[in-house]
Amino acid sequence: MTADHANRAHAKLSASGSKRWLSCTPSAELEAQFEDSTSSFAEEGTAAHELSEIWLKYHLSQIKAWDHGELWKQAQKGKYYSREMEDYVQGYVSIVLERANEAFKRSKDAIVLLEQRLDFSEWVPHGFGTGDVLIIADGIMEVIDLKYGKGVPVSAEENSQMRLYGLGALDGYGYLYDIQTVRMTIVQPRLDSVSTEELTADDLLSWGEDYVKPRAAMAAAGEGEFAAGDHCRFCKARATCRTRAEDNLKLAKYEFRDGSLLSLDEVGDVLGRIDQLQKWAEDIKKHALDQAEKHGVRYPGWKLVEGRSNRIYSDRDAVQAALLAVGFVEDKILTPRELLGITAMEKAVGKKKFEELLSELIIKPTGKPTLAPEKDPRPELSSTASAAADFTDD
């Protein structure tokens, strides 16, 4: 049997939400008023974790070939299983096996543990999580976490979730093995991203004692100051939180200088506020619609109505038959068959085959110019005006 990935319990002060409750301590108490929800992305992640565990157990000789075959067959019947998932999971499995082999090279007594409950309640009341992989060898302990999402790359540097897992691992195994270094690694196979932070065990323990412990105690008691920031993105209270609203309204309120037109500086400042304001506005709209539609909530001045819709065929085959019967030819009424889009094709044929057969036939056209903050790592483009000026100078 594989570990119960879907039912990994979520504590009030969970490791995955730690960036939020460490930055905004009363958010843990406020969030408790909201229901837990699950998404198809979370379910897909669970399926990928289960599949990776089946393969890792097999490669690490923790299950017999026959059991592996049976478990794999079951996994392939799952709603989210696809060739694409198999390829990505194999990519993750090879990274883990590489790390495990390095550990065995350092020490023949290396140990590799899968799906370990990591208890960090020494620092966070009732705090625990599950480490996907734990490798211990020669004074070095590595915690590896699979993230199956394909949103944005998540860095392991200063990542509080990974550090809490590291603390849990130290607490659970530090007394058995003399551990000096803790490595915390995040693997995101769909983004080709592997990120590791390495800390001495002493530094990690000091972070736990000096930073986490006092803030976790405040969070558990619902104390401290609300503080809005990037961490609000995944907070259950994000749509109706007063602090976030006030923070955004402060952002929206801008002391414009005189003159009929905005200056370059003023437009630059406004650009820097737009993304956050947009996210907040979208959160409020989504929340209000959800409340009105599913719970019958009425907001003064607003009502639930039917949105605009486009005409659709009720029976496509009947439409085709009716037209052909009166003499219309197929070329006139049918669109030509088209190739699948790149993502759908990758999913249909599998990542490996896709790369093998099509890598030279895929091109990446230049992206449309977009405005980005100065600290963005992409090189600056020259504008049409400056290109024209360069041309004139020549």
**List of residues contacting ligand SF4 (CB under 6 A):** 20, 24, 27, 30, 226-228, 231-232, 235, 237-238, 241, 243-244
Could you give the CA distance from residue 45 to residue 68 in angstroms, rounded to a whole number?
20
- Of 215 and 244, the one with the shorter C-beta distance to ligand SF4 is 244
- Of 3 and 227, the one with the shorter C-beta distance to ligand SF4 is 227
- Of 141 and 239, the one with the shorter C-beta distance to ligand SF4 is 239
Cα 25 to its chain centre, rounded Å, is 22
In the block, residue with structure tokens 């195994």? 173
- Of 270 and 284, the one with the shorter C-beta distance to ligand SF4 is 284
Cβ atoms 197, 145 nearer than 8 A: no
Q: Which two tokens stand for residue 6?
A: 């879907």
Least separation in angstroms between CB 243 and ligand SF4:
4
Could you give the CA distance from residue 170 to residue 25 in angstroms, rounded to a whole number?
25
Least separation in angstroms between CB 115 and ligand SF4:
30
Least separation in angstroms between CB 163 and ligand SF4:
19
First to last CA, the chain: 72
Beta-sheet pairing, 111-119 with 181-188:
unpaired
- Of 27 and 116, the one with the shorter C-beta distance to ligand SF4 is 27
- Of 204 and 241, the one with the shorter C-beta distance to ligand SF4 is 241
Local structure of 187: helix, strand or coil: strand
Q: Which two tokens stand for residue 290?
A: 């959800």
Least separation in angstroms between CB 213 and ligand SF4:
20
Q: Which of 63, 47, 78 is nearest to 1 (CA)?
A: 63
Least separation in angstroms between CB 202 and ligand SF4:
31
Which alpha helices (DSSP H) does 222-309 contain, by range? 242-252, 264-295
Least separation in angstroms between CB 27 and ligand SF4:
4
- Of 112 and 241, the one with the shorter C-beta distance to ligand SF4 is 241
Least separation in angstroms between CB 246 and ligand SF4:
9
Q: How many CB atoms lie within 10 A of CB 185?
A: 22
In the block, residue with structure tokens 């041309």? 391
Least separation in angstroms between CB 247 and ligand SF4:
7
Sign, CA dihedral 110-114-120-121, equals negative
Could you give the CA distance from residue 281 to residue 275 in angstroms, rounded to a whole number?
10
Cβ atoms 87, 100 nearer than 8 A: no
Could you give the CA distance from residue 44 to residue 87 in angstroms, rounded to a whole number?
14
- Of 30 and 140, the one with the shorter C-beta distance to ligand SF4 is 30
